[in-house]
Structure 1
Amino acid sequence: MSEDEFKAAMARLTAGVVLVTAFDPDEGPHGEDVGMTATAFMSVSLEPPMVLVSVRDGSRMDELLERQPLWAAAVLAGDQRQTAGRFAMKGRLSDRLLFQEVPHSRGPVSGAPLVDDALAVVECRTERRVPAGDHTLVIARVLSSALPHTADGGPLTYYQGRYRGLD
């Protein structure tokens, strides 16, 4: 099987879209917020509450989560395509500039940015990192959760290489 065949097969799988965020206290004089769009995110356990996210080896988020265990994930709403796209771009502007345009608050548990209009947000602490090919599976305990989105509407999904609402 070729890489292209595998990518085409996986493009047929619809995935939810989350914005993974963390605060890097070691970046700059006052620290810096870091964000990454992810579609490989899932609930792992109810007792205790745990989630899993897959991050690319060597990415900024991978490096940060290796040394800083607290982070958050926001389940994006269908009208948040622009946010997902901005944090998925390769060679993008600094995350500091991207967060200036995304309404958010600071997570009281993780210190990570929490997107204001997300369908749900969870604050997490990494419990285990598992190497998996060119990615690392980050398994974390959920320390808090909230449902900040007040408008009607569904989640943002990713299917066949495009962001889509669930309409």
Structure 2
Amino acid sequence: MSRLAGGVVLVTAHDEDAGPRGEDVGMTATAFLSVSIDPPLVLVSVRNGSRMDDLLAEQPLWAVSVLSESQRHVAGRFAMKGRISDRLLFDDIPYKRGPLSGAPLVGGALSTLECRTEQRVEAGDHTLVIARVLGVELPSAEGGPLSYFRGRYRQLS
């Protein structure tokens, strides 16, 4: 499957139960797709037992930022194994809080979506999370999409 190019997104959610002010959680994903136009549904594949899997099992509201080719550093940071705490991951990344989900929407993304989980489907060592799109923003970001192919982030241009 490494020879199938995929777009790169950052999936984010806000964990209100983590500390007095909560904590933002993020994960890089390449298994993200549109499922339906009417109603607007998307799907993301989340590794079982990950912090994001645990959070999305409890928190139905989350967001997606479609990363641009200039955001390779963002994708890499949130994909690291054995990474630093989620709280530090967002430190120098510009974002605003989604008005519907409360989740971070990354600045400079090609588009952002706010979602509400409709269904979770166990699939091997991952869970497929199907969600209704509640809102979409199309900022005036420059450049093309960031993609992932043969184990590396790539630019299409």
Q: TM-score range by the shorter chain?
A: over 0.9
Deviations 1:42-73 (A, max 9, x none): 00000010100000000000000000000000
The answer for the alignment partner of 1:75 in structure 2 is 66
Amino acid at match of 1:145: V
Matched, 1:164 2:154: yes
1:92 CA drift (Å) = 0.7
CA contact 1:72–1:110 (8 Å) conserved in 2: yes
Gaps of 5+ in 1: 1-9
Q: 1:113 corresponds to which residue?
A: 104
Alignment of 1:101-140 (within 5 A): 101-140=92-131
RMSD, aligned CA: 0.6
CA shift, 1:96, in A, is 1.1
Q: Deviations over 1:138-161 (max 9, x none)?
A: 00000000012432x110000000
Calculate percent identity across the aligned residue pairs: 70
Match of 1:146 in 2: 137
1:14 counterpart letter in structure 2: A
What whole-Å deviation, never above 9, does each CA across 1:8-27 have from its counterpart, x for those lacking one? xx010000000000000000
Secondary structure in 1 matching 2:130: strand
| Structure 2 alignment gaps of length 5 or more | none
* SS of match in other structure, 1:66: helix
- What amino acid does structure 1 have at the position aligned with 2:154? R
Structure 1 stretches of 4+ moved >3 Å: none
Q: Contact (CA 8 Å) 1:11, 1:159: kept in 2 or not?
A: yes
1: CA distance between counterparts of 2:141 and 2:2? 31
**1:83 aligns to what SS in structure 2?**
helix
- Take 1:96 and 1:149, find their aligned partners in 2: how far apart are those partners? 28
Partner letter of residue 150 of structure 2? Answer: Q
Conserved 8 A contact 1:116-1:149: no
**What residue number does 1:18 align with?**
9
Q: TM-score, normalised by structure 1?
A: 0.93
| 2:30 counterpart residue number | 39
Q: What SS class does the counterpart of residue 100 from structure 1 fall into?
A: coil
- For the 8 Å contact 1:17–1:76, the answer to whether it is kept is yes
Q: How many residues align?
A: 157
Query: Which of 1 and 2 has greater Rg?
Result: 1
